[in-house]
Amino acid sequence: MTRKIIIDCDPGQDDAVALLLAFAANSELEVVGVTTVAGNVPLELTERNARLMCDIAGRDDVDVYAGCSRPLVRSLITAEKVHGRTGIDPLQIRQPSRPLKSQHAVDFIVDSLLSTEDGPITLVPTGPLTNIAMAIVKEPAILDAVDKIVLMGGAMREAGNHSPSAEFNMLVDPHAAHVVFECGTPIIAMGLDVTHQVLSTPDRIERIRALGSEAAVATADMLEFYNRHDMEKYGMHGGPLHDPCTVAWLLKPELFKSKRCNVAVETTSELTAGHTAVDFWGISGRPENAEWVYEADAAGFYDLLVEYLERYSR
Ligand code: RIB
Ligand code: CA
């Protein structure tokens, strides 16, 4: 049974790898569309980068939409120091073969969900949640067609990566994150606690590079660049591979362990904006609104990534 998904992303190297993984899984996942949001780099780059991944994957059947160019309330913060000026350094940037769709991403999400007739759609956000929140506020009825939201964001034991207490996606748009976590739809939340277990070590990158296809070599090149920031910062022997964890969960959920918890997002404090208060021990009495993913089989994850990227070599 093919699962219909919409990936909402801010490529960014790890978003780009999530797209390549999802595109390779074309018998398991039907990518209804890719929507883009400002985050790692500004919107005009995230949408271009998403279209470039469609080209590299040879998926001219997938349309890319641009969404919100800034968060709901706060000013946009970006992360060129991590992702490079293009957002997908060190790849050679070329003009994508196909144009950006003219419809706004939020309207595409609303229209797709209101019109779907052959089963629900899974939302897979891997950037700030501005587009998803806007769609929910604009038309709450869309949630009847969403079976779950599988998102990358938040942190519990790992603390923050872009402020002392907040993970980047939550920090960029905490108000949007609040709307999403309060919407009532089942959420699978992949935070830093799990993504920091999934490290792109040199041997894993070489295993990917050896596949030889343009998609595999692009993945290896992007991960080598993307790794350096976190390896220096954390002293890790590889960089965390955040966003592809969402797609890997869709393909092989048994690679992960999770616990139903309440997750609440700080929206008022300037000091801790975007902090995800994960009630892992059920202390608050607040409703359990998410599956908080806390463990990954990292070796199994990379076996899966290689298995699917190998499909580009056929
Ligand atoms: O904190 C990691 C997240 O922020 C990832 O989604 C990365 O792409 C950035 O968007
Ligand atoms: Ca991202």
Domains in the chain, CATH or no CATH each: 3-313 (3.90.245.10)
Confidence check: pLDDT of 190 > 90: yes
* pLDDT tens digits along 206-228: 999 999 999 999 999 999 999 99
> Pick from 10, 97, 7: which is nearest to 55 by CA?
97
Mean pLDDT within 292-306: 98
Please list the residues that pair with 33 across neighbouring strands: 6
Residues recorded for the chain: 314
Work out the pLDDT band at 153, boundaries 50, 70, 90: very high
Confidence check: pLDDT of 43 > 90: yes
Confidence check: pLDDT of 1 > 90: no
Ligand 1 pocket test: pick from 19, 81, 88, 169 the residue with the most ligand atoms within 8 Å of its Cβ: 169
* pLDDT tens digits along 46-65: 999 999 999 999 999 999 99
Taking CA atoms, 66 is separated from 23, 102, 150, in Å, by: 19, 8, 20
Work out the pLDDT band at 173, boundaries 50, 70, 90: very high
Nearest CA to ligand 1 atom 10: 127
Catalytic positions, written as ranges: 242
Q: Which atom of ligand 1 has the smallest separation from the CA of 152?
A: 6
Confidence check: pLDDT of 16 > 90: yes
283 CA distance to ligand 2 middle (Å): 30
Give the binding-site residues of ligand 1, using a 6 Å CB cut-off: 10, 12, 14-15, 39-40, 126-127, 152, 161, 167-169, 242-243
DSSP classification of residue 90: T
Distance CA 300, CA 305 (A): 9
**248 Cβ neighbours under 8 A, 6+ residues apart:** 21, 255, 256, 301, 304, 305
Q: Model-level pTM greater than 0.75?
A: yes
Mean pLDDT within 76-83: 97
Instruction: Return mean pLDDT, the chain.
Output: 97
**97 Cβ neighbours under 8 A, 6+ residues apart:** 51, 55, 60
Mean pLDDT within 101-124: 97
168 CA distance to ligand 2 middle (Å): 9
pLDDT value, residue 14: 98
9 CA distance to ligand 2 middle (Å): 6
pLDDT value, residue 21: 98
* pLDDT tens digits along 245-291: 999 999 999 999 999 999 999 999 999 999 999 999 999 999 999 99
pLDDT value, residue 34: 98
Mean pLDDT within 149-170: 97
Cβ burial of 131 (10 Å; 0-12, 13-18, 19+) is buried
Other C-beta atoms lying within 10 Å of the C-beta of residue 141: 11
